[in-house]
Amino acid sequence: MTTTAPAFTERYLLSPDAVAEPYGYLNALRAHAPVHWSPMHHAWLVTGYDHVMRCLRDPAVSADRVRPLMDAVPQGAGEDAERAFGILARWMVFNDPPQHRRLRQVFQEAFAARAVARYRAFTEKATAAVLARRAVPGRGGDLMADIAKPLPALVFARWLGIPRTDAPSFWYWNARVADLVLGTAQEESEYRASLQALVSLEDYLGALVARRRAEPGDDLISQVLREGRVGESVSEEEFVGMLTQMAFAGGETTSNLIANTVLALHIRPDQLAAVRADPALAHGAVEETLRLDGPSKMSIRTAARDLDLDGRTLRADDRIFLVTAAANRDPACFPDPDRFDVRRTGSTHLGFGFGAHFCIGAALARLVAVAAVTTLVRDHPDLTLTDPDRLTWQPSLLNRSLTALPVRY
């Protein structure tokens, strides 16, 4: 007697159930076809590890997302969008080689692990201060609002050289820019506010660069200016545009990484106990979160020209979703891929991307996340999740972000 495999049924990736728990469906999609054309999303969904890696290496797969974002501009907002999208066009994450390489080299030294390590003492001190103020033993709270968001904001503001008096406006603009880039600004008024926030952020950072030229400090902007590439290999306009990317990217990713790691450990008592017994395993917990339930679910690309992938022909201008959240659970690369294991070794996860577009801020994000997780596990043994079965996630194709993480400290 022969049995017929159940038919695969496509699901919308922003449906409430797929937002809440995407992994069962993504596993089924990868098993059905690791390169799948989705009429529902008008895009190719690439879910196999080797297939995602191929796309991340192939020059036929373009990182230019500015044109698709412009296509989504609400009617009537076009004039407001012109300058904002000019700024986005200078983000290295939206550029392909050789332009991407030229832009990235300006920040290469500042983001190197040895340079980031200079902020370890400050990060650990900031972590202790934030937890002492907000994680009061016996008190209930929201770990997202109390720790996961303010801690990276504090470290990144110090790293960029943002004066404390400017921090509220700076982080407001960043939140609105996130709404624009991640596609969560739905109403025209929200969209206009996001466009204006990006313009305001660039104006502010442009003025800050001018101040750091006159009065250098111990921060990223001053370091890059001292190296002499601004005005030579890149223009000052390009440099300021890229700073808006740095400002947006760092806090959002690291906040979600902290919260997702705390959640992952506290719903797995054996893994939490392992980190408590050996705090050095906090690094393994952060890496395993990046693989299993990281802050990024996918990145969006476009076919620059026709290419063949897994026997399928992707046509020029086709949209491509590189679903790293599925590739990171590919059983061809990761034994027992749905298991969270703080001692896991082996294949490289794609939580920060790979190759030319590997996240330039990965070392700093890891530094902050490991400091937060280590301190929480070590100094807050009574921390518990108060309602783990009723957590909700932000509706986003790109990000894996909790709306809140209720806890008792």
Backbone dihedral angles phi then psi of residue 239, each to the nearest 5 degrees: -60, -45
Instruction: DSSP for 192-256, please give it.
Output: HHHHHHHHHHHHHHHHHHHHHHHS--SSHHHHHHHHT-BTTTB-HHHHHHHHHHHHHHHHHHHHH
Amino acid at 129: A
Question: Does the N-terminal peptide bond of residue 98 adopt cis geometry, omega within 30 degrees of 0?
Answer: yes
Using an 8 Å Cβ cutoff, are 182 and 295 in contact?
no
Amino acid at 155: V
Tell me the C-alpha distance between 191 and 182, whole Å. Answer: 12
CATH topology of domain 16-408: Cytochrome p450 (1.10.630)
Q: CA of 55: how far to CAs of 12, 242, 268, 278, 302, in Å?
A: 23, 24, 34, 38, 10
Tell me the C-alpha distance between 366 and 373, whole Å. Answer: 10
* 3-state DSSP assignment of residue 37: strand
pLDDT digits (tens), the chain, 409 positions: 555 556 789 999 999 999 999 999 999 999 999 999 999 999 999 999 999 999 999 999 999 877 666 665 655 556 668 888 899 999 999 999 999 999 999 998 888 888 899 999 999 999 999 999 999 999 999 999 999 999 999 999 999 999 999 999 998 998 888 888 876 756 778 888 989 999 999 999 999 999 999 999 999 999 999 999 999 999 999 999 999 998 887 788 999 999 999 999 999 999 999 999 999 999 999 999 999 999 999 999 999 999 999 999 999 999 999 999 999 999 999 999 999 999 999 989 999 999 888 999 999 999 999 999 999 999 999 999 999 999 999 999 999 999 999 999 9
- Give all strands of the β-sheet with 319-322 in edge-to-edge order: 35-38, 43-46, 319-322, 299-303, 61-62
- Give all strands of the β-sheet with 406-408 in edge-to-edge order: 140-142, 406-408, 384-385
Q: What Rg value do the Cα atoms of the chain yield, rounded?
A: 21
Closest CA to 53 of 342, 267, 322, 271: 322
Dihedral in degrees, nearest 10, Cα atoms 366, 369, 370, 376: 180
Joined together, the tokens standing for residue 169 give 């406006």
